[in-house]
Structure 1
């Protein structure tokens, strides 16, 4: 196989490519054609089978454990602990403050500690907290447990979202994000089924049904985390399920993605080293802060649905057990749509049309809810939350993928995604208070606030589209005028997504 030396000469060699050399290099020691004999689709399938099922299981348990308080509520948690409506809402809200605060620090730790160690460790921690939550006896105990659940769960979602970008190119990432995130939809369905079954354990061992929901789901999390220590892989360069040449290929294709192919400088490596300036760049990047408003436009409805869906359905006149089961078809349909939409988005290489389209679908769903009296037309309200949920779950991985596609440099992408998810999840703290007990059964305020955030998300999406389009045109014009002559490949690498060769995904 022919390889190119640093001086431009070539030599014939049967030696396999040095993975570490490729990972360190600024200029490519080989061309992509050197890997032409490899089956890229087969490598991707191999990665999918080894990574996605375990990651999806981890997130299923994470989303199950943070959202099962909604199922516990209709199993009489509030009455048994003598909680006022305000106290219950504070227990929901407190989780998101610590959850948001610890996401950026967790991703910085992830850069220093192997994912196969860090992710299962925090998972064991939140599993223990969840189990102990089943033993609380009053408001103070539940509030404290929810605060610590936020601390311990904080690192999983931003960690895995960033982790996947170290395996897949940006035109492949949304499908994998969706397969991973669709576990949240499945968790919603699974939570309803579990709560229906576990709720029948009321009185066993002198415990209430809602206590068994927390205890059994917490124990399941700890057991799964113990397996994850051995089942998770770290990064492509050390993946034992790939051959050495396959590892080199995966590292190479990731390192040189996102560049304009219309110039001799197209092969500009993404910076991987740790520098505090990259952390600063993330905090000062305009696109991250605008994207947070897009994120709020999806995450507020997401948490509104996940925390209150059983309650909303129960207020339509159904029994608790019926309400639990009626959440299942909503979440299953949403999970399927999330994967289908992600596949289509990756194929066309666009994010914004799908995100905006699903947000408009959310507007329709919540408008159906807000305009209908549930006592007169409960099926219309149920249909409205069905439509809204089936738009929320496909839109969410699109928002995550859109920002990750447009951040170049491993450290900046890590911090930027954690910042997006961390600050963005304060939307969960807001959504925790949207659906007040005194507003039942119509919940006009809650549905109205969701609509307001969705409209804000649509406006922010349009701002990003205009900004990205203008930047791409400006950079193309400068390149045509010979602007690249002022930069070395090293300087372009350090600029990351601000380099003239970099093109934003729309």
Structure 2
């Protein structure tokens, strides 16, 4: 889109009046806009019509920044054409400001979770599957409350919901340092899961209020990358804390929970003062920036009249129970099964390579794979952002994991297996943000997005629960059954990616041919806003 710079507006946001929409090729009613064009107040601009596949036009008018951002005004016409053209430098400056204010705060909410030295002995874990039961207790909470968490987040608001959960997690972590029995440990792990379950989907949902759809994956990756970083620095931190002299009942693994709990409480308390619920409540944005932030996100949601809509259960569940969200959940289930399984198996491989070393030395040697994958966990979402493609990069990444697990299955050499960890980790961590982004961006409202993320994260939590039972004590050291299961999950992930990619491409083709245009007949703007992905101008982002 071409535009002239407006000297009156520093951010140079160029707007088209939301009503009436005007498009010559689509033969819409021009109304008073034609007179404005003839008088020279509006500038005719060529614009490609996604529905008709040929050149059409819109009219651009420089107006007040908040006109499109206002509640009740659309930022895209009925054919999916954006009604705004934004100066790229202004948008880049806003995006950088959002990154600096939002990403550091949400990133530090990630807390390390690792197998802790001495835990089995101190809690009298003598049964064959006691540790698996202990691990799965937190995932039982995840699965039980996954769907509810984002519903509550929508009601309360992410700026309050996320810090409250973090505060509870810190308190429960602190309490975990004092448990004395296996049953008490399982109960506390379940409570930790209740507190933690809403953090990841809540943050993904929160970021979607601030960023364009193609920007979301990379920003979510900046939070997700804390997972391998925590695996790396968590191992270093654990090795340091295990050397700290005990005081009272606080020693070894208890020291880790105690320190983690205190740190989390401090972070959560500070977050109440830094997080803003939505652009219009951010005191660190100017009025002009608030309008720009709202207008640019609303322009990508065809039919949307508001940035943050009121909670409607029907819309929430429509966001959950659609093919993209369901397959997205299955994709994340496969990926998280692999991510968590690798976390359980990597320490065993290190012990096999270095059998005579201490627990502290083993912790340190689990660090390199996590450090290596940080780059890939950022690179893949970055490429997805710049190319506006997700399925392509996911389908290229899955085979890397397949090769890694194939090496696990066919080789008994511990060094080869250690090298395979780098292949697997470089792929699976990169897909965490991609799976959730793919579901989130294929919605048209804030409420539907919350539902879509809930379904996807539920799938991931099911994968995490399954992972606690894939590596069992009787199969040490080679863990053939668990590695075969994860090899199958890697293959299924590739197949599901290709299936969803193909289905979305087919749907877009049908919409381009006008097969769904009749849906708009006789509908009011409010009814059109409720169509969601059924809107004929909606296009799936692959």
TM-score (norm 1): 0.90
Please name the residue that 1:121 is paired with. 164
Aligned pair 1:106/2:149, yes or no? Answer: yes
* Alignment check: 8 A CA contact 2:18 2:75 kept: no
Please give the per-residue CA displacement for 1:131-164, whole angstroms capped at 9, x wherever unaligned.
Answer: 1111111210110011111111111100000111
**Structure 2 match to 1:336:** 375
Aligned to 1:407: 443
**Distance in 2 (alpha carbons) for counterparts of 1:15 and 1:416:** 35
Partner of 2:391: 352
Which residue does the alignment assign to 2:454? 418
* Alignment map for 1:370-389 (pairs within 5 Å): 370-373=409-412, 377-389=413-425
Task: Supply the distance in 1 between the matched residues of 2:327 and 2:141 (Cα, whole angstroms).
Answer: 23
Q: Is the 8 A contact 1:492 1:500 kept in 2?
A: no
User: How many angstroms apart in 2 are the aligned matches of 1:448 and 1:18?
Assistant: 56
Q: 1:473 aligns with which of 499, 506, 509?
A: 509
Q: Deviation per CA, 1:325-369, whole angstroms, max 9, x where unpaired?
A: 122121121112111111111111111121122211111111112
Q: Quick one: distance in 1 between partners of 2:209 and 2:540?
A: 18
Change beyond 3 A, Cα 1:204–1:309: farther
Determine helix, strand or coil for the equivalent of 2:309. Answer: coil
Match of 2:24 in 1: none
Structure 1, unaligned stretches of length 5 or more?
260-265
Hey, what's the Cα distance between the residues in 2 that align with 1:284 and 1:330? 36
1:208-219 alignment to 2 at 5 Å?
Answer: 208-219=251-262
Whether contact under 8 Å (1:120, 1:225) holds in the other structure is yes
Tell me the secondary structure at the aligned position of residue 191 of structure 1.
helix
Structure 2: 5+ residue runs without aligned partners?
Answer: 1-7, 9-13, 21-31, 43-60
Match for residue 79 of structure 1?
121
Secondary structure of 1:502's partner?
Answer: coil
In 2, Cα distance between the equivalents of 1:212 and 1:486? 66
Instruction: Say if 2:135 is the partner of 1:92.
Output: yes
The aligned counterpart of 1:464 is: 500
Change (3 A) 1:28 1:382: closer
Note the C-alpha offset of 1:430. Answer: 0.6
Contact 2:208 2:216 in 1 (8 A): yes
Q: Which moved more, 1:169-178 or 1:456-465?
A: 456-465
Please give the secondary structure, in 1, of the residue aligned with 2:248: helix
Kept in 2: contact 1:256–1:270 (CA 8 A): no
Distance in 2, Cα, partners of 1:494 & 1:482: 16
Aligned match for 2:100, one of 28, 39, 49: 49
Partner of 1:157: 200
In the TM superposition, what are the counterparts of 1:281-360 in structure 2 within 5 Å?
A: 281-318=318-355, 319=357, 320-360=359-399
CA–CA distance in 1 between the matches of 2:175 and 2:67?
Answer: 45
Q: Provide the C-alpha distance between the structure 2 equivalents of 1:505 and 1:5, rounded to a whole number of angstroms.
A: 24
State the shift of 1:277 in Å.
Answer: 1.6
Q: Are residues 1:58 and 2:109 paired?
A: yes
| Separation in structure 2 between the aligned mates of residue 297 and residue 322 of structure 1, nearest angstrom | 31
- Deviation, 1:488, is 4.9
CA radius of gyration, larger in: 2
Report how far residue 116 of structure 1 moved: 2.3
Aligned partners of 1:101, 1:139: CA distance in 2, in Å? 21
| Aligned residues between the structures | 487
* 3-state SS of paired residue (1:368): helix
Give the Å deviation of 1:211.
Answer: 1.0
Change over 3 Å in CA distance of 1:129–1:223 after alignment to 2:
same
Higher relative contact order (CA 8 A, sep 6+): 1
Greater alpha carbon shift after TM alignment, 95-104 vs 435-444: 95-104
Seen in structure 2, the aligned counterparts of structure 1 residues 94 and 36 have a Cα distance that, compared at 3 Å, is same
Report whether the alignment pairs 1:441 with 2:492: no
1:25 aligns with 2:60: no
| Inter-partner Cα distance in structure 1 for 2:276 and 2:308 | 22
What are the superposed Cα offsets for residues 264-283 of structure 1, whole Å, 9 maximum, x if unpaired? xx888778232222123134
Q: Mark the CA change 1:76 to 1:311 in structure 2 (over 3 Å): closer, same or farther.
A: farther
- Point out the more displaced range, 207-216 or 37-46: 37-46
Work out the CA distance in 2 between the residues paired with 1:462 and 1:218. Answer: 42
**Preserved CA contact (<8 Å) 2:177 2:258:** yes
Separation in 2, partners of 1:271, 1:204 = 50
Q: Provide the residue aligned with 1:187 in structure 2.
A: 230
The equivalences for 1:216-295 within 5 A come to 216-257=259-300, 272-295=309-332
Q: Return closer, same or farther for 1:19/1:323 CA change in 2, 3 Å cut-off.
A: farther
Alpha-carbon spacing, 1:191–1:51, altered in 2? closer, same or farther (3 Å): same
Change beyond 3 A, Cα 1:337–1:405: same
Deviation at 1:121, TM superposition (A): 0.9
Q: Relative to structure 1, is the Cα distance of residues 257 and 216 closer, same or farther in structure 2, using a 3 angstrom cutoff? A: same
- Alpha-carbon separation, structure 1, partners of 2:409 and 2:62: 68
Greater helix share, 1 or 2? 1
Task: Give CA deviations for 1:439-491 in whole Å, capped at 9, x if unaligned.
Answer: 11111111111111122222211211121011101111116977755655443
